[in-house]
């Protein structure tokens, strides 16, 4: 019985290690910028969640939202840097890069289940 319990705990710890917080419902998710594109290019998060925009590219980027519902400007981001934005408004926010007009990530911000 005790051995069984220990094995169960071990499995849970292993699962937590193998599957880190890559769930779109997690409090903080990472969107990278690579090859002059956001990866992923579409993401669904909950109100109050934060997206960390990480520049994994070889050129600077300037993450910005011109969506009237939720505008923001994260300033110039050099390769290797990251900036975070918490989304406090439900709805769809189009996030782009002021330096590269083809870059876009669609963020669907949903309210938490009641």
Residues that bind Cu ion (CB under 5 A): 61, 97, 99-100, 103
Chain residue whose CB lies nearest Cu ion: 97
At CA 50, angle to CA 27 and CA 95, rounded to 5?
A: 140
Write down the least CB distance from residue 55 to Cu ion, Å. Answer: 8
Count the alpha carbons within 13 Å of 22 in the hemisphere toward its beta carbon. Answer: 9
Residue placing its CB nearer to Cu ion in the complex, 46 or 100: 100
Residue placing its CB nearer to Cu ion in the complex, 94 or 99: 99
Residue placing its CB nearer to Cu ion in the complex, 30 or 103: 103
Residue placing its CB nearer to Cu ion in the complex, 62 or 110: 62
Q: Are 107 and 95 in contact (CB under 8 A)?
A: yes
Write down the least CB distance from residue 38 to Cu ion, Å. Answer: 9
Write down the least CB distance from residue 5 to Cu ion, Å. Answer: 51
């Amino acid at each position: 019985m005790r051995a069984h319990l220990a094995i169960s705990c071990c499995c849970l710890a292993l699962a937590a290690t193998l599957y880190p917080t890559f769930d779109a419902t997690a409090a903080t998710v990472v969107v990278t910028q690579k090859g002059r594109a956001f990866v992923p290019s579409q993401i669904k998060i909950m109100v109050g969640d934060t997206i960390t925009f990480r520049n994994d590219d070889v050129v600077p980027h300037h993450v910005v939202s011109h969506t009237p519902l939720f505008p923001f400007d994260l300033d110039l981001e050099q390769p290797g840097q990251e900036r975070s934005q918490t989304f406090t408004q439900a709805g769809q926010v189009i996030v782009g890069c002021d330096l590269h007009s083809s870059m876009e990530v669609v963020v669907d911000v949903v309210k938490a289940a009641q």
